[in-house]
Amino acid sequence: MEKPIVLVIMDGVGKGDGGSGDAVAVAKTPTLDHLLKTCPHTYLKAHGTAVGLPSDEDMGNSEVGHNALGCGQVYSQGAKLVGESIENGTLFASDTWRALAANAAQGKAMHFIGLLSDGNVHSNISHLIALLKAAKETGVKKAYCHILLDGRDVPATSALEYVEKLEAVLKELNTDGCDYAIASGGGRMQVTMDRYEANWDMVERGWRTHVQGEGRQFASAKEAIETYRAETGCIDQDLPAFVVARAGAPVARIANGDSVILFNFRGDRAQEISLAFDRKDFDKFDRGDYTGVKFAGMLQYDGDLNIPENYLVQPPVITNTLTEVLCQAGIREYAVSETQKYGHVTYFWNGNRSGKIEEALEVYEEIPSDVIPFEQAPAMKSKEITEKLVEAMASGAYQFLRCNYPNGDMVGHTGSMDAVVYAMECVDNSLKTVLEAADKYGYTVLITADHGNADQMTETKKGKTAVRTAHSLNPVPFIIYDPHKNWQIKDGAYGLANVAPTVVKMMGLTAPDCWEDSMV
C-alpha cells in the first residue's frame, strides 16, 4: 500500500446535460472542474440493474448506492426483492402474512401505511395493490390505506394519479360487505417518514393522523390534496396531514389489536414509525391508549436492531463487504458524515449491518444535522464534516477514510435551484480543503457519488418545464486524485460496485472472487 486512501462521496451529484437545470454545471465549482480536466476519471452507472433494481428505468438511491459502493457486488434490492416475493408467492406463504391476515379475517381491520407512488425507491403502488387483493382473498372485510404522498421520487405534483389508481382498485374490492378505503395521509416530508431520528415530530404527526384519527377532515384524499394545493401551493411531499371522514368521523383509526403493514421496502425512513408500533418501552412521544397491534414491515429494516420484529420479505444477506476485507488485512478505517447520511457510510456501506466488523479497527463519527428545511441552510454540515475528516487525515491513524457530503441530494430534493447551486459550491469548497490536506499528509483521494440529483433540477414534459425533485438516471463521476502516481483507468463500462474492487487493488490486496472488476 503506497498511500492511504480517502473516498469522498458527493451525495446526489451526477453528470447532467450542462443546461440551466443542471445545478452542478451552473454552480461555480473550480475544484471539481479542475479535477475533471487533469485527473484520471470515468463515469459510473448508479441506477437500475447496476445497483440491483429491477430495470434501468428505476432510479438509484442512497441506500442501494452505498450497498454497491461498500460491497463490491450487485444484490437484488428493494423493489426487485419484493416483486420476486410477490410473484413467486413466498410473501403470502410467510408466517407473518398468514398471522396478520388471519387476525384481520377474525373481525379486526387490516391497515396499510406507506408511500403511494411507483418511484421504486421506498415503495411501489403495485405492491400495495397486490397486498390488498390478497387480503380480500383471505377473507379480510375491513382494510384501510394510510397514504404518504411522494412528489420526490416521482414528479412533484403527481399524487392524484396514484390516488385515482388506488381508489379504482378499492372500488373493485368493495363487494361482499367489505370496506376498503383510504383513511388518512399527508406529504412524506410532513408526516411519518423521518429518518435517523432527525425529527421525531414528523413521526408523531403521522401517529396522531393514522392511529388516532386526529387532524383536518376531508371527504376524500382527492379533496384533501386539491384543497391543500390551492391553499398552500406546496408540492406533494410537503402537503399537510389529512383524515378522510364519513359523517364527521374518521373512516378508520388504527385500533389496538388490528393488523398493520408498513409496505415501504426501504429502511431508513421506515424505522422510526416501526419502533412506535413495535416497542413496549417506546418513549419518543405519548402514544395515548395504545397497547399494541400485529405489526409487520415489508422488509426488516435493521436486522441487528430487530426493526421491526416481524416482516414479510427476507432481506438479502450481504457478505464479503469491503470493510470485512480491510479488517481481515488489519487496515484501520474512519467514516464520517452528518446525521442525514451517517447511516449510509456505516450501516448501508457495511451491507445493512449496524455494528462494526472489528471494533479496534473502525472509527465512525456522526455530526448532528440541523432540524431545518434544507433549502434554508444549504451548506448543511459540509464545513464540520471537512474539519473532522482533515483532523482524521492529520492523525495518520487510518489507512482508509470515507465521508459523505449530503448537500447535492438533500438540498436537491427541495427543488430550490438557488439553494442547490449554493450547496454544490459548499461541497466544492470542502473538496478543495480535502485535497490540500491530501497533499500535505500524503493521501490518494477518490471522488465519486451514489446517484444523481442536483444535476437535473428541471424536467420538460409535453412542452412544459417543471421543477424536478427526484433523483436522476445520470451516471456519476469517479475521479482519482494522486499527483505523484500515474493511475490509469481501464476501458470499460463500470458501476458503483466497481469502486470497492478498485480500492482493494490500489491497496495491493486481493478482492473476493464474487466482486466486480477493478477499474485500475
Query: What string of DSSP letters covers 28-51?
Result: --HHHHHHHHHS-EEEEE-SGGGG
Q: What is the mean pLDDT of the chain?
A: 96
pLDDT of residue 304: 56
Q: Which amino acid is at 487?
A: W
Confidence of residue 22 (pLDDT cuts 50, 70, 90): very high
383 contacts 357 by C-beta, under 8 angstroms: no
**3-state SS record for 353-366:** CCCCCCHHHEEEEE
Residue 409 CA to residue 343 CA, distance in Å, equals 15
Q: Which pLDDT tens digit goes with each residue over 417-467?
A: 999 999 999 999 999 999 999 999 999 999 999 999 999 999 887 788 889
Q: Which pLDDT tens digit goes with each residue over 166-190?
A: 999 999 999 999 999 999 999 999 9
Cis peptide before 308 (omega within 30 of 0): yes
Between these two residues, 33 and 462, which has the higher pLDDT value?
33
Calculate what percentage of the chain has a pLDDT beyond 70: 99
What is the full DSSP assignment across 115-126? EES--SSS--HH
Integer-rounded Cα Rg, in Å, for the chain is: 23
Nearest to 71 by CA among 507, 449, 511, 405: 511
Beta bridge partner(s), residue 112: 145, 261
Q: Tell me if residue 220 is catalytic.
A: no
Q: Of 20, 62, 369, 382, which is the active-site residue?
A: 62
Q: Which pLDDT tens digit goes with each residue over 78-127?
A: 888 999 999 999 999 999 999 999 999 999 999 999 999 999 989 999 99
Q: Is 214 helix (H, G, I), strand (E, B) or coil?
A: coil
- Which residues, other chains included, contact 236 with Cβ-Cβ below 8 Å and sequence gap of 6+? 149, 150, 151, 152, 156, 157, 158, 159, 187, 188, 225
Weakest-pLDDT range from 75-84, 172-181, 254-263, 267-276 = 75-84
- The CATH 3.40.720.10 portion of the chain extends over 5-76+317-506
Residue 390 main-chain phi, psi, to 5 deg:
-65, -40
- Averaged pLDDT for residues 143-171: 97
Residue 515 CA to residue 505 CA, distance in Å, equals 12
- Is residue 154 pLDDT above 80, yes or no? yes
- Which residues, other chains included, contact 265 with Cβ-Cβ below 8 Å and sequence gap of 6+? 78, 79, 81, 82, 122, 123, 127, 298, 299, 313
Nearest to 359 by CA among 384, 327, 387: 327
> How many other C-beta atoms can be found within 10 angstroms of the C-beta atom of residue 355?
11
Upper half-sphere CA count for residue 416 (Cβ side, 13 Å): 17
Nearest to 270 by CA among 202, 338, 356: 202
Confidence of residue 488 (pLDDT cuts 50, 70, 90): very high
- Run of H or E residues at 99: helix 95-105
Q: Which pLDDT tens digit goes with each residue over 402-419?
A: 999 999 999 999 999 999
- The CATH 3.40.1450.10 portion of the chain extends over 79-313
pLDDT of residue 197: 87
Architecture of the domain spanning 5-76+317-506:
3-Layer(aba) Sandwich (3.40)
CATH number of 79-313: 3.40.1450.10
Nearest to 119 by CA among 77, 200, 60: 60
Alpha helices in 174-319 (DSSP H): 200-210, 221-232, 271-278
Which residue matches cell numbers 482524521?
A: 392
Tell me the pTM. 0.79
pLDDT of residue 303: 67
- 146 alpha carbon, distance to own chain's centre: 20
259 class by beta-carbon count within 10 Å (0-12 exposed, 13-18 middle, 19+ buried) = buried
